[in-house]
Structure 1
Amino acid sequence: MSEEAPLVLIVEDEPDLADLYAAWLSSDYRVRTAYGGQEALDELDEEIDIVLLDRRMPGVSGDEVLEEIRGRGLDCRIAMVTAVEPDFDIVEMGFDDYLVKPVAKEELYETVESLLTRSSYDEGVQKLYALASKKALLESEKGSAELEDSKEYQQLERELEQLRSELGETLDSFGDHEEFVGVFRDLERDADVDPFEE
Structure 2
Amino acid sequence: MATETPSVLIVEDEPDLANLYAAWLEEPCTVETAYDGQSALDAIDETVDIVLLDRRMPGLSGDTILATIRDRGLDCRVAMVTAVEPDFDIIEMGFDDYLVKPVSKEEIRRIVDQLSLRSSYDAQLQEFFALSSKKALLDAEKTEAERKSSQEYARLQDRLAALRVQVNDTMEELLEQDGYRRLCQDITRDSILQESD
State TM-score, norm by structure 2.
0.91
Q: Which amino acid aligns with 2:76?
A: C
Alpha-carbon distance in 2 for matches of 1:117, 1:137: 20
Alpha-carbon distance in 2 for matches of 1:145, 1:4: 44
- Asked if the contact 2:2–2:120 (Cα under 8 Å) also holds between the matched residues in 1, the reply is no
Q: Please report how far the alpha carbon of residue 6 of structure 1 lies from its aligned counterpart in structure 2 after TM superposition.
A: 1.3
Tell me the residue number matched to 1:111: 111
CA gap 1:163/1:102 in 2 versus in 1, 3 angstroms: same
Alpha-carbon distance in 1 for matches of 2:188, 2:167: 19
3-state SS, counterpart of residue 32 of structure 1: strand
What are the within-5 Å matches in structure 2 for residues 2-151 of structure 1? 5-151=5-151
3-state SS, counterpart of residue 31 of structure 1: strand
- Structure 1: gaps spanning 5 or more residues: none
Aligned Cα root-mean-square deviation (Å): 2.0
| Bigger mean CA deviation after superposition, 140-149 or 178-187 | 178-187
Alpha-carbon distance in 2 for matches of 1:191, 1:61: 30
| Bigger mean CA deviation after superposition, 110-119 or 164-173 | 164-173
Q: Please report how far the alpha carbon of residue 129 of structure 1 lies from its aligned counterpart in structure 2 after TM superposition.
A: 0.4
Alpha-carbon distance in 2 for matches of 1:117, 1:23: 21
Alpha-carbon distance in 2 for matches of 1:110, 1:2: 16
Aligned-pair identity in percent equals: 57
Alpha-carbon distance in 2 for matches of 1:87, 1:3: 33
Q: Please report how far the alpha carbon of residue 38 of structure 1 lies from its aligned counterpart in structure 2 after TM superposition.
A: 1.0
Alpha-carbon distance in 2 for matches of 1:165, 1:2: 25
Tell me the residue number matched to 2:194: 191
- Asked if the contact 1:117–1:183 (Cα under 8 Å) also holds between the matched residues in 2, the reply is no
Alpha-carbon distance in 2 for matches of 1:191, 1:45: 34
| Bigger mean CA deviation after superposition, 141-150 or 172-181 | 172-181
Alpha-carbon distance in 1 for matches of 2:2, 2:152: 38
- Asked if the contact 1:52–1:79 (Cα under 8 Å) also holds between the matched residues in 2, the reply is yes
| Bigger mean CA deviation after superposition, 36-45 or 161-170 | 161-170
CA gap 1:84/1:128 in 2 versus in 1, 3 angstroms: same
Q: Which amino acid aligns with 2:84?
A: V
3-state SS, counterpart of residue 52 of structure 1: strand
CA gap 1:119/1:55 in 2 versus in 1, 3 angstroms: same
Alpha-carbon distance in 2 for matches of 1:189, 1:80: 22
Alpha-carbon distance in 2 for matches of 1:179, 1:27: 21
Q: Which amino acid aligns with 1:168?
A: N
Alpha-carbon distance in 2 for matches of 1:155, 1:81: 25
- The number of residues matched between the two structures is 194
Q: Please report how far the alpha carbon of residue 152 of structure 1 lies from its aligned counterpart in structure 2 after TM superposition.
A: 0.7
